[in-house]
A = this chain, B = another copy of it.
């Protein structure tokens, strides 16, 4: 709905400014510390201004989550493309992109996969999440093209679960509490290669 205007309105691009401010706020304070009024404050508008652009605070959160899924998908494909090589290499690369996005946006990542976001299931949000899921399934299927549909699905479950579980536990401090960032990356890569090996072996 936002279009370029010769002269900005009262604010002009409030919706965009609110999502930007909200995203930063979310990373700073976490889901429970997230408030609509603080978003408005940071965007330089009154506390009731957001109401026009977002029906409720959950609506804003849903918008943030939606954008998060879009960026997650972009990070996955970018990293997969960067990983030259066979389908297994792409699968690993996609996992790297997944983890990198999560590590760079921990609170947003948690919001995306919390049922709080699902409470206000926007069609956009569902579609964005579905796109990520399809990306994962496609990478697994490409690695084991001759396997049965059932095997493909089980391996997609497996790949998705390991990648997501590892980074989720890591961000929560449940894995590698005091390890260096470098050591954690090594552990992450080791997990990804073990995952890919299992997938490929199941497909052959």
Chain A contact residues, CB within 8 Å of chain B: 30-32, 106-107, 110, 113-116, 118-119, 129, 133, 153-155, 157-158, 160-166, 168-169, 171-175, 187, 190-191, 194-195, 197-198, 202
Are A172 and B133 neighbours in the complex by a CB distance under 8 Å?
A: no
Residues on B with beta carbons closer than 8 Å to the beta carbon of A162? 158, 161-162, 165
- Decide yes or no: A107 and B113 within 8 Å by CB, A158-B194, A163-B165, A174-B129 being known contacts: no
Contact, CB under 8 Å: A195 / B110: no
Distance in angstroms from A176 CB to nearest chain B CB is: 8
Measured between C-beta atoms, what is the minimum distance from A137 to chain B in Å?
Answer: 11
Quick one: which of B119, B158, B168 contacts A30, CB cutoff 8 A? B119
- CB pair A168–B174 under 8 Å, yes or no, is no
Whole-angstrom CA separation of A7 from B163 in the bound complex:
52
Q: Which residue of B lies closest to A188 (CB)?
A: B157
